[in-house]
Amino acid sequence: MSIRSSAAGEIPFLLPGKIVAVPGRGEMFVRHHQHADSSAPTLLLLHGWTASCDAQFFTAYKELAQHFSIVGIDHRGHGRGLRPSTAFTLEDCADDAAAVVRELGITSVITVGYSMGGPISLLTAHRHSSLVSGMVLMATALEWRENRRERMIIRVARTLSRITSLPQLQYWFMKRTLPHGHEMRRYISWIVSENCRNNPRMIQQAGKALSTFDARSFAPALNKPSSFVLTIRDSGVLPHKQQALAAAVNAQIVELDGDHMAPIVMPREFAVATRQAVDLVVAAIQQR
């Protein structure tokens, strides 16, 4: 899909999208790219809190699509994700991801989880072990509740999410994040429009679920070939928290000299780091 313009502003390269009816769950919007080489590994993209698959990974789509098949979904309450009447849980998101992959007839994936997508990746590997051949974890942690500071950060972020869902504040934030002349600035209207798809109630619930997540009891036993993109200037998920998760799953580390907004602020570097991290997992799988 080529770059084009719309009322929402310039739109970046995106992967083909379609609706997949998943029995017992509903209709799910899926980004699905099938590589010409049928033996190419399939990546399952799992985005972070308040994002969508497109908003999180669009800067890496083109790089990844050259080498891999891709499935990308929006989690519950995020983007075009499901809007069930039940409360948000990370476990349900993991089960959603596994269900849509199986509905597409795919039997093996490498999960690529950014921020909240990290816990969802861990849960997918834990609950659907035979489906997950490897994991790429990015800017994420084993848990977010070890000390009072971390619990307070999540609590404040949940409160602010009610306010920052307003388009005017999102425009202000994105213009502060992307200075004049930045190559991603032409996509601000599209990014804001994408973020406005979120359901505020479920975003709040997702923040609560994230604040109580703790994988220390099961992550070390997953035994999946893993790599980790570590954002070394991250103030949202501190580097030492990221390192703890990388150590727990014995992941090979790829450092990215950026903050939590690196996928948008550092698009080329993010795409390269993601590709490198995937390649490490593919190589480790082949060696088994």
Prediction pTM value: 0.93
> What pLDDT digit, counting tens, does each position of 262-276 carry?
999 999 999 999 999
Domains in the chain (CATH in brackets) are 13-143+214-287 (3.40.50.1820)
* Residue 288, pLDDT score: 87
> What pLDDT digit, counting tens, does each position of 162-200 carry?
555 678 888 988 999 999 999 999 999 999 999 999 998
Residue 144: pLDDT band with limits 50, 70, 90: confident
* Residue 5, pLDDT score: 46
| Average pLDDT in the chain | 92
DSSP secondary structure letters along the chain: ---EEETTEEE-----EEEEEETTTEEEEEEEE--SSTTSPEEEEE--TT--HHHHHHHHHHHHHTT-EEEEEPPTTSTT----SSPP-HHHHHHHHHHHHHHTT---EEEEEETTHHHHHHHHHHHSGGGEEEEEEES--SBS-SSHHHHHHHHHHHHHHHHHTSHHHHHHHHHHHS-TT-TTGGGHHHHHHHHTTS-HHHHHHHHHHHHT-B-TTTGGG----EEEEEETT-SSS-HHHHHHHHHHTTPEEEEE-S-TTHHHHSHHHHHHHHHHHHHHHHHHHHH-
Residue 147: pLDDT band with limits 50, 70, 90: low
> What pLDDT digit, counting tens, does each position of 81-113 carry?
999 999 999 999 999 999 999 999 999 999 999
